[in-house]
Chain A
Amino acid sequence: MRIPCPFCGPRDVSEFVTLGEATGPRPDPAAPDAAEKFFAYAYLRSNPAGPSEEHWYHALGCRSWLKVVRDTRTHEIESAALAREGAR
């Protein structure tokens, strides 16, 4: 599998570390239901058969965290963006 890092260009998957499905944003810790929200944030995953939004870290490259949309059935990458920019 090759991931098109927005900064480095397409690179072999061996340069990346995956954190799995992107479940952000991080919940508000002050909210009354923070406990449930954090539980979902930390543990619940939708595990789709199809496009899945995931966090990947370009560990052996530019050290960027990426938000990657990957089809779990075909490993086709629909998009890869810097997570920093997505968060803004």
Chain B
Amino acid sequence: MSKPMRLSNGGLLDRRREITFTFDGKPYAGHPGDTLASALMANGVNLVGRSFKYHRPRGIFTAGPEEPNALVTLRNGSRREPNTKATTVELFDRLVATSQNCWPSPRLDVLSVNQLFAPLFVGGFYYKTFMWPASFWEKVYEPAIRRAAGLGMVSRLPDPDHYEHATAYCDVLVVGSGPAGLSAALAAARTGARVIICEEDFRLGGRLLSEPHEIDSMPAIDWVARVEAELTSLPEVRIFRRTSVFGVYDGGTYGALERVSDHLPQPGLHQPRQRLWQIVARRTINAMGAIERPIVFGGNDKPGVILASALRTYVNRFATAPGRKIAFFVTSDDGWLTAQDVLKAGLPIEIVVDARAHVADALTRPLSRAGVRVLLDAVVSDAHGRPGLKHIEVRKDDKILQFEVDVLAVSNGYNPQVGLTTHLGGKPVWSEECGAFVPGELPPGMQSIGAAAGDFALAACLRAGMQAGRTLASDLGFASAPAAVPRADDEPCAVSPVWYVEHRGKAFVDQQNDVTAKDVAIANREGFRAVEHLKRYTTLGMATEQGKTSSVTGQALMAHLTGRTMHQAGTTRFRPPHVPVAIGAFAGPHVGKHFKATRYCAGHDWALENGATMIEAGQWLRPRWFTKPGETDWFESVTREVKTVRAAVGICDVSSLGKIEIHGRDAGAFLDRVYVNMFSTLPVGKARYGLMLREDGIVLDDGTTARLGPEQYVMSTTTGNAGKVMQHLEFCHQVLWPELDVAMASVTEQWTQYAVAGPKSRKVLETLLGDRFDVSNEAFPFLACAEFFWGDVPVRLYRISFSGELAYEIAVPANYGDSLIRALMRAGAEFGAVPYGSEALGVLRIEKGHVSVPELNGQTTAADLGLGKMLSKKKDFIGRVLAERPALTDPDRPSLVGFKPVDPGQRLRSGAHFLAIEAAATAENDEGYMTSVTYSPHAGCWVGLGLLKHGAARIGEYVRAYDPVREGDVEVEVVSPIFVDPEGKWLHE
């Protein structure tokens, strides 16, 4: 396939192989080694998209991640990714890219009429234009703006790719692999230190890939290969290519994104698309280099206007150029070096314009000798052409000269890449010597070297790298003999930046966000002069490249307008991420069902085999109900389960409840301090309900705690609070009372525990245990507990009840849990035993008036729950003092009672608020709220638990349960919260 703009020689390309791709549906070809941008350029495609606000035609402006213009949508279908920088996309076979922000094509874009409405889009337009009325914002303004000024379209399909997270450690992290980074890595690695090199490109070398230098008397590219080979041979060196360090975090932690498969049509087998690295480094060398600066003049966004350093990269590395009639507008020596390279590549240069009056002969001579027109002390004021550059206007001594060109390379000195140095709050400082902001206070352990520190010359970079690598490694105790610094020339790199040129056309500061010089002037006029205000008022530097080519220029313009120096104006700080990172990479493998790990009970498989519908309880999966053949809805199943428990026997997995074993001489005394009631007096072989407060007097958790031995207790907690309670107990022991002889461990995982509840529960256990254990009422009364062996297997048995029935809980080590439930069901078969789930458990406990999570809601006191009498007067305990505060003992506080609808056909809703029958539905008349409701098969109607002002004293009254959200307004009777067996006789049978 012909590539009209591919130079016949040179470039780091594999010309033997051809890669085909399409852009906007048209097929093209490139070579391995190309980026999408270079391949497009080689094919003569320079108009790549339209701008965000004004839909102006835009081309390729840079050759790296700082690209503001050449944003494309990459791939299609579920892998479609908008806003991809063509300058960073490694070309792969069958790549599909499309332009953005234009319809039907970049050449003919209907929405470019936005340019006619340009006054609407000036600085601060969001704030001024769309102020009133507020309701218009969502309905009118925003959709209109979004449609007109989008940044590509996402796929809306699930991401088919896999993303990984990984952590790596090193002694020295080197960010960037240009001359400074490579020599630093080499010096550090030779000491034996663990070194990680992160290079965002797919090749090591940085600017050495683009500039024809000599190092140690060999072409720079050969030197790179030699260093790479040595680094690869060292066992403690890891080279991460295609990896961008995007964030600096506390404690020497760095975030980096490795694009593992982005250069392939799709990830290989078992390969992630991207890998998010957390790199922990003891020392870091920031050798990220520098980014060339544009100049603000009229039409400086035309396709064909390009950074000179980028042109150098396209010519030298990619053997292509955006045009055949090239002009230069420079203020730096470096621009002249690019011009020399362009000349060497055989490309014609029309003119070189330098704003400086004096430029070294050594720089100008090779060009003037080749017949290139050289104009010093002159500027380019405007660039013209539609859609691409056709001619430029040059102003020299108040005369305007016109030149027909299709490429204008701009060189205005470099901005060191200070982004990472500011992530922990460091502020870059202006260096007059470098004509740039250089790193200020650095993150601990970081050193910036080379161009990233404003040290631009090659020999200086190599020197700084060798020095820094060795010094940092030696700080960490890795020593080595000093090695020779690679020899190279210090090329000239003087610069006298010109930020802004008087012009007529639109002059852009931030090309991606379409912020113009005029917008900066408006911000100044309206008082938004501080750099941070300027940024937010104009959106300067807030696009996907985060102002890498625009921020400092905008700040320079503002400094000029306000008569301040660059030092006085200052610059903005950057936040992570330094480059865009896909949300998918941050999520990593923790997506969908794996967002959080699922915890399974040992009886999980059995439950599924028996028709269980599962529900998440925290991270646990618990059976919610068991559907029997013929049952058509959950209500039918749950009601059957409840009725069976009340009439015969039911079996429920309670393994997910927290279980904490507490040992030691002071275990009882310790429990006395963490529970409101006494546990030191609990006899061995007995269990007791316990209530725990937070230190502020509010209820923390409840549960049953059993004493298995003189110095051994087992506490149970609610499923949701297990971790919190363990943490609390550890705090009490380690921080408050380390002198107590107490040892504890969570045994939640160790025991599978089933509740066996109902009048026939004893029969089931008798059948199951036979003569292994006597479960008769005499031998094992209500609240008894015991531990015994079943063969080799320890068994724990508790006679406790959450349902209000005669009930037991039996526990075995979880490795036998699956076997236990199967044995239990076999034993229960003749008594009609059924499994029941958390839904029936909820019905049973509400019928019995037991509090649970909806009542233990972090706002209730013991007295609110009718448990005030449990608070021991004989001892101190956590929460005792603050529970006595007036507001917590106020008799007006809502307290727990039961509710029944006056019309038994009506349904109750939890969350409904209580009002006096005649009271208006206002907040002042609010008397509390319903916490839990259920249809009670026992009562034959809906019943509820709730917190009502003076609740206990109002039994027999009628109130309204008012639920405006679901249009409920039900008259209810205040009743005892205990709907079944109020005397608790069943428990003792």
- Chain A positions near chain B (C-beta within 8 angstroms): 1-2, 10, 12-13, 17, 19, 24-27, 29-30, 34-35, 38-39, 41-43, 55, 57, 59, 63-65, 74-77, 82-84, 87-88
Cross-chain contact B881 with A38 (CB below 8 angstroms): yes
Cross-chain contact A41 with B280 (CB below 8 angstroms): no
A13 to B280: give the CA distance in the assembly, Å: 13
Given A39-B882, A65-B734, verify A75-B727 contact (CB < 8 Å): no
Cross-chain contact A19 with B731 (CB below 8 angstroms): yes
Among candidates B723, B731, B881, residue contacting A35 with C-beta atoms closer than 8 Å = B881
Given A2-B252, A59-B727, A75-B250, verify A64-B734 contact (CB < 8 Å): yes
Please name all residues of chain A whose beta carbon is closer than 8 Å to the beta carbon of B734 when the two chains form the complex: 64-65, 82-84, 87
Cross-chain contact B738 with A88 (CB below 8 angstroms): yes
A8 to B260: give the CA distance in the assembly, Å: 33
Please name all residues of chain B whose beta carbon is closer than 8 Å to the beta carbon of A25 when the two chains form the complex: 736
Cross-chain contact B884 with A35 (CB below 8 angstroms): yes
Please name all residues of chain A whose beta carbon is closer than 8 Å to the beta carbon of B280 when the two chains form the complex: 2, 12
For residue B249, CB closer than 8 A to chain A, the reply is yes
Cross-chain contact B727 with A34 (CB below 8 angstroms): no
Chain B nearest CB from A78 CB (Å) reads: 13
Cross-chain contact A29 with B731 (CB below 8 angstroms): no
For residue B105, CB closer than 8 A to chain A, the reply is no
* Contact string against A for B residues 879-906, beta-carbon threshold 8 Å, 1 for contact and 0 otherwise: 0111011000000000000000000000
For residue B444, CB closer than 8 A to chain A, the reply is yes
Q: Chain B interface residue count: which class?
A: 20 to 34
Looking at B252, B695, B723, the one whose CB has the most chain A CB atoms below 10 A away is: B695
Cross-chain contact A84 with B695 (CB below 8 angstroms): no
For residue B876, CB closer than 8 A to chain A, the reply is yes
Cross-chain contact B251 with A35 (CB below 8 angstroms): no
For residue B269, CB closer than 8 A to chain A, the reply is no
**Chain B residue nearest to A3 in the complex (CB):** B251
Cross-chain contact A75 with B695 (CB below 8 angstroms): no
Please name all residues of chain B whose beta carbon is closer than 8 Å to the beta carbon of A13 when the two chains form the complex: 250-251
A57 to B726: give the CA distance in the assembly, Å: 11
**Chain B residue nearest to A2 in the complex (CB):** B251
Looking at B249, B252, B278, B730, the one whose CB has the most chain A CB atoms below 10 A away is: B730
For residue B696, CB closer than 8 A to chain A, the reply is yes
A67 to B924: give the CA distance in the assembly, Å: 45
For residue B923, CB closer than 8 A to chain A, the reply is no
**Chain B residue nearest to A70 in the complex (CB):** B250
Q: Which of B584-603 contact A (CB under 8 A)?
A: none
Cross-chain contact A17 with B727 (CB below 8 angstroms): yes
Q: Which of B297-345 contact A (CB under 8 A)?
A: none
Please name all residues of chain B whose beta carbon is closer than 8 Å to the beta carbon of A77 when the two chains form the complex: 251
**Chain A residue nearest to B875 in the complex (CB):** A29
Chain A nearest CB from B717 CB (Å) reads: 16
Cross-chain contact B882 with A26 (CB below 8 angstroms): no
Cross-chain contact A65 with B876 (CB below 8 angstroms): no
For residue B735, CB closer than 8 A to chain A, the reply is yes
* Contact string against A for B residues 733-758, beta-carbon threshold 8 Å, 1 for contact and 0 otherwise: 01110110000000000000000000
Please name all residues of chain A whose beta carbon is closer than 8 Å to the beta carbon of B976 when the two chains form the complex: none
For residue B852, CB closer than 8 A to chain A, the reply is no
For residue B253, CB closer than 8 A to chain A, the reply is yes
A63 to B728: give the CA distance in the assembly, Å: 11
Chain B nearest CB from A5 CB (Å) reads: 13
Cross-chain contact B253 with A12 (CB below 8 angstroms): yes
**Chain B residue nearest to A39 in the complex (CB):** B882
A76 to B443: give the CA distance in the assembly, Å: 11
Given A1-B250, A75-B251, verify A55-B881 contact (CB < 8 Å): no
A25 to B884: give the CA distance in the assembly, Å: 21
Cross-chain contact A76 with B444 (CB below 8 angstroms): yes
Chain A nearest CB from B748 CB (Å) reads: 14
**Chain A residue nearest to B724 in the complex (CB):** A17
Given A1-B249, A41-B695, A76-B444, verify A84-B738 contact (CB < 8 Å): yes
State the 10 A-B residue pairs at the shortest beta-carbon distance, nearest first: A2-B251, A1-B250, A75-B250, A29-B876, A38-B881, A65-B734, A84-B734, A83-B735, A84-B738, A87-B738
Please name all residues of chain A whose beta carbon is closer than 8 Å to the beta carbon of B731 when the two chains form the complex: 19, 55, 57, 65
**Chain A residue nearest to B736 in the complex (CB):** A26
Q: List 15 A-B contacts (CB under 8 A).
A: A1-B253, A2-B251, A12-B280, A24-B735, A24-B736, A25-B736, A35-B882, A38-B881, A39-B882, A42-B695, A42-B696, A63-B730, A74-B425, A77-B251, A88-B738
Please name all residues of chain B whose beta carbon is closer than 8 Å to the beta carbon of A39 when the two chains form the complex: 882
Q: Which of B230-253 contact A (CB under 8 A)?
A: 249-253
Please name all residues of chain B whose beta carbon is closer than 8 Å to the beta carbon of A19 when the two chains form the complex: 731
Please name all residues of chain A whose beta carbon is closer than 8 Å to the beta carbon of B885 when the two chains form the complex: 35
A43 to B882: give the CA distance in the assembly, Å: 11
Cross-chain contact B738 with A57 (CB below 8 angstroms): no
A85 to B278: give the CA distance in the assembly, Å: 33
**Chain B residue nearest to A38 in the complex (CB):** B881
Cross-chain contact A84 with B881 (CB below 8 angstroms): no
A2 to B280: give the CA distance in the assembly, Å: 10
Cross-chain contact B250 with A57 (CB below 8 angstroms): no
Chain A nearest CB from B31 CB (Å) reads: 43
Cross-chain contact B876 with A1 (CB below 8 angstroms): no
Beyond known contacts A24-B736, A55-B731, A83-B734: 7 more, CB 8 A cutoff: A1-B250, A2-B253, A10-B251, A13-B251, A17-B727, A26-B736, A65-B734
Chain A nearest CB from B446 CB (Å) reads: 14
**Chain B residue nearest to A25 in the complex (CB):** B736
A17 to B731: give the CA distance in the assembly, Å: 12
A55 to B732: give the CA distance in the assembly, Å: 12
Chain B nearest CB from A20 CB (Å) reads: 12
Cross-chain contact B881 with A34 (CB below 8 angstroms): yes
Chain A nearest CB from B363 CB (Å) reads: 46
Given A34-B881, A38-B881, verify A55-B730 contact (CB < 8 Å): no
Please name all residues of chain A whose beta carbon is closer than 8 Å to the beta carbon of B727 when the two chains form the complex: 17, 57, 59
**Chain A residue nearest to B249 in the complex (CB):** A1
Please name all residues of chain A whose beta carbon is closer than 8 Å to the beta carbon of B876 when the two chains form the complex: 29-30
A82 to B876: give the CA distance in the assembly, Å: 26
**Chain B residue nearest to A31 in the complex (CB):** B881
Please name all residues of chain A whose beta carbon is closer than 8 Å to the beta carbon of B736 when the two chains form the complex: 24-26, 87
Chain A nearest CB from B750 CB (Å) reads: 16
Please name all residues of chain A whose beta carbon is closer than 8 Å to the beta carbon of B730 when the two chains form the complex: 57, 63, 65
Cross-chain contact B253 with A55 (CB below 8 angstroms): no
A84 to B739: give the CA distance in the assembly, Å: 9
Chain B nearest CB from A24 CB (Å) reads: 7
**Chain B residue nearest to A24 in the complex (CB):** B735
Chain B nearest CB from A69 CB (Å) reads: 15
Q: Which of B862-886 contact A (CB under 8 A)?
A: 876, 880-882, 884-885
A5 to B12: give the CA distance in the assembly, Å: 50
A8 to B753: give the CA distance in the assembly, Å: 33
Cross-chain contact A87 with B881 (CB below 8 angstroms): no
Chain A nearest CB from B958 CB (Å) reads: 39
Please name all residues of chain A whose beta carbon is closer than 8 Å to the beta carbon of B723 when the two chains form the complex: 59
Please name all residues of chain A whose beta carbon is closer than 8 Å to the beta carbon of B735 when the two chains form the complex: 24, 55, 65, 83-84, 87
A63 to B743: give the CA distance in the assembly, Å: 13
**Chain A residue nearest to B695 in the complex (CB):** A42
Please name all residues of chain A whose beta carbon is closer than 8 Å to the beta carbon of B253 when the two chains form the complex: 1-2, 12
Please name all residues of chain B whose beta carbon is closer than 8 Å to the beta carbon of A30 when the two chains form the complex: 876
A82 to B727: give the CA distance in the assembly, Å: 15
Chain A nearest CB from B638 CB (Å) reads: 36
